[in-house]
Amino acid sequence: MAVEVALKMALQYWYSVGNPGKQKVIALRNGYHGDTFGAMAVCDPVTGMHHLFGEMLPRHLFAPAPNCAFDGPCPDSEMVAITDLLSQHHREVAAVIVEPVVQGAGGMRFYSPDYLVKLRALCDAFDVLLIFDEIATGFGRTGKLFALQHAAVEPDILCLGKALTGGYMTLAATLCNQRISRGISDGEAGAFMHGPTFMGNPLACATAIASIELLLSQPWQRQVANLNKALGEGLAPAAELPAVAQVRTLGAIGVIELEEPVDMQTVQPMFVERGVWVRPFGKLVYAMPPYVMGTEDVAALTAAMVDVVAQL
CB neighbour list of residue 53: distance below 8 Å, 6 or more residues apart: 37, 40
- What is the band of 195 on the pLDDT scale with cuts at 50, 70, 90? confident
pLDDT tens, position by position, 112-130: 999 999 999 999 999 999 9
Say if residues 65 and 103 touch (Cβ distance below 8 Å): yes
Quick one: pLDDT band at residue 234, thresholds 50, 70, 90? very high
- Domains (ranges, CATH) in the chain? 2-212 (3.40.640.10), 220-311 (3.90.1150.10)
What's the pLDDT at 58? Answer: 86
Distance CA 66, CA 77 (A): 10
pLDDT of residue 48: 66
Percent of the chain with pLDDT over 70: 98
Strands 244-250 and 253-258: what pairing? antiparallel
Per-residue pLDDT at 106: 85
Residue 50's pLDDT is 63
Angle (CA) 76-70-61 rounded to 5° is 55
Q: How far apart are CA 157 and CA 134, in angstroms?
A: 10
Summary mean pLDDT of the chain: 95
